[in-house]
Copies of this chain bind each other. A is one copy, B any other.
Amino acid sequence: MSPRIGLDLPTILQAAVEIADTRGLEEVTLASLAQKLDVRSPSLYNHVNGLSGLRSKLAVYGLEQLLHVMTQAVVGRSGDDAVRELGKAYVTFARAHPGLYDATLRAPDPQDEEVRRLAGETVDLVIRALQAYELKDDAALHAVRGLRSLLHGFSSLEQRGGFGLPLDLDVSFRLLLDTFLAGLHEMKRWAKAESKPT
């Protein structure tokens, strides 16, 4: 009386997220997952394509959630306010789901159609949030990369305990965003000065 226990992909992913967030992404193994789900590890192959398949699904799952909280963060906002809330949502997610966040960066298959779609949507979202700065064409895309670099860098270093100094992390983050935004405003000024010269 063992087949059809009721295992399914959502259940598996939820258990995997729990392990990732509490013990780290490396601790998400088919063995640990099977034990948590009270199942033998080969059974997982009915739902997921091995460990690498699981990690890919975990990455997509995380990207979906991250995009969702970022989307919620910017609705009805624009300019500095929008970017600040976006940033806050990003680091809050990374703090709440360290393992899942890790998966979004280390586990995804770049070929995966779903991953590409989510990446594209995220870029679009950030572009819209940056509209107030009137960056033209490529400049907007470069700014998206910059903002993403800064958000990921901060989150990643915070997660790994890379910041050793006894200094308030929230203050560091706020100042970092402020500095970046001030820089964006300057870029906007300079661009205007160039287009209306002497």
Chain A residues with a Cβ under 8 A of chain B: 105-106, 110, 116, 119-120, 123, 138-139, 141-143, 145-146, 148-154, 156-157, 160-165, 167, 171-172, 175-176, 178-187
Contact = CB atoms under 8 A, between A and B. Distances in A.
A176 B176 CA distance: 12
Nearest to A169: B145
A156 B186 contact: no
Contact of A183 (B139, B151, B183): B183
A175 B143 contact: yes
Interface of A is mostly: helix
A185 B182 CA distance: 9
B184 A179 contact: yes
A122 to B, nearest CB: 10
A187 B179 contact: yes
A130 to B, nearest CB: 12
Most chain B CB neighbours (cut-off 10 Å) among A105, A149, A165: A149
14 contacts: A105-B162, A123-B165, A142-B175, A148-B153, A148-B157, A149-B153, A149-B154, A149-B157, A153-B156, A179-B180, A179-B186, A182-B182, A183-B184, A185-B186
B164 A119 contact: yes
Contacts of A152: 153, 156-157, 162
A176 B153 contact: no
Contact of A164 (B116, B143, B161, B176): B116
Contact of A179 (B119, B146, B162): B146
Contacts of A163: 145
Nearest to A144: B165
A87 to B, nearest CB: 11
A23 to B, nearest CB: 15
A149 B155 CA distance: 8
Contacts of A179: 143, 146, 180, 183-184, 186-187
